[in-house]
Amino acid sequence: MKPPVVSDVDRDLVVNEAFGPTFQGEGPSTGRYAHFIRLFGCHLSCTWCDTPQTHDPARHDLAAEQRILSIEDILSWLASTPADLLVITGGEPLLQPRALERLLCAIRERELATDVEIETSGTIAPTDVLISAVTRFNVSPKLAHSGLRRRQRIRPAVLRDLAGSGKAVWKFVVQQVDDLDEVQELVGTYGLHPVWIMPEGTDSSTVLARMRLLADPVLARRWHLSTRLHTLLWENSRGR
């Protein structure tokens, strides 16, 4: 296997894929017309990860899964296909903070997207520039069923920083009703609000079955329920 590509950390982004238009499939913006940039790389290894191509050499040829895009490359793409909502996802986008800052500031200057959301695991603190430039962080702290040790997946100072930014929503990936107790403990300990519960699953029948199981218990806790709209529509297709 070829070694991973290394980018200029300020000028370029290491990207797995860029695609759209499609719909934002998860969380508060579900159903919005959206474009996605999926950044390459993740420092975690959730057992059920739905984007292993961003970081898992056991399942993917990582050299083939990454490409270097300059900020100007991405701006040109956005200029040619205007975005209402741009979603920056991963992988873990906050592993590339400086280039991301430059991208978001340029998008704002050139008015190339109405809103920008960054999806993150909540284990890396965002910079002040990113907090200022982003519309919202969709933060997804991982639960025990991810297979990660607690100290890998729960970083108290980062959760508090994100909560204090005033721009975070908390989207928990849940497999079964009992997982909601773990969510409750995190929500109470770190003051996380608002809370969205999303079923784990990469096929429509699993997503729907888990949503049906979770619906009433989520309502009882006064939280929100997210689907995975892209999975209901297109199953596990990439680039949708």
CA distance readout (Å), 173 to 28, 49, 79, 199: 14, 11, 33, 6
Q: Does 138 bind ligand SF4 (CB under 6 A)?
A: no
d(CA 118, CA 100): 10
DSSP string covering 189-204, please? HHT--SEEEEE--SSH
Q: Does 27 bind ligand SF4 (CB under 6 A)?
A: no
Q: Does 95 bind ligand SF4 (CB under 6 A)?
A: no
Nearer to ligand SF4, 42 or 229 (CB): 42
Taking contact as CB under 6 A, which single stretch among the options 18-26, 84-92, 99-107, 206-214 is the one that binds ligand SF4? 84-92
Q: Does 93 bind ligand SF4 (CB under 6 A)?
A: no
* Sequence-distant (≥ 6) Cβ neighbours of residue 176 within 8 angstroms: 210, 213
Buried/exposed 116-139: b ≥16 CB within 10 Å, e otherwise: bbbbbbbbbbbeeebbebbebbbb
| Site string (106-135) toward ligand SF4, x via CB under 6 A | ---------------x--------------
* Sequence-distant (≥ 6) Cβ neighbours of residue 117 within 8 angstroms: 24, 29, 85, 86, 87, 88, 134, 135, 136, 137, 138
The answer to the question of whether 140 is labelled as a binding residue is yes
Q: Does 175 bind ligand SF4 (CB under 6 A)?
A: no
For residues 165 and 131, the answer to whether their CB atoms sit within 8 Å is yes
d(CA 239, CA 15): 13
Q: Of these, 90, 93, 141, 201, which contacts ligand SF4 (CB under 6 A)?
A: 90
Q: Does 96 bind ligand SF4 (CB under 6 A)?
A: no
Q: Of these, 39, 42, 174, 198, which contacts ligand SF4 (CB under 6 A)?
A: 42
The answer to the question of whether 205 is labelled as a binding residue is no
Backbone angles phi, psi at 137, to 5 degrees: -100, 125
Q: How far is the CB of 39 from ligand SF4 (least distance, A)?
A: 10
Q: Does 66 bind ligand SF4 (CB under 6 A)?
A: no
Contact positions toward ligand SF4, by CB under 6 A? 42, 44-46, 49, 51, 54, 90-92, 121
Annotated binding-site positions:
23-25, 38, 42, 46, 48-51, 89, 91, 140-142
Annotated binding-site positions for substrate:
23-25, 38, 89
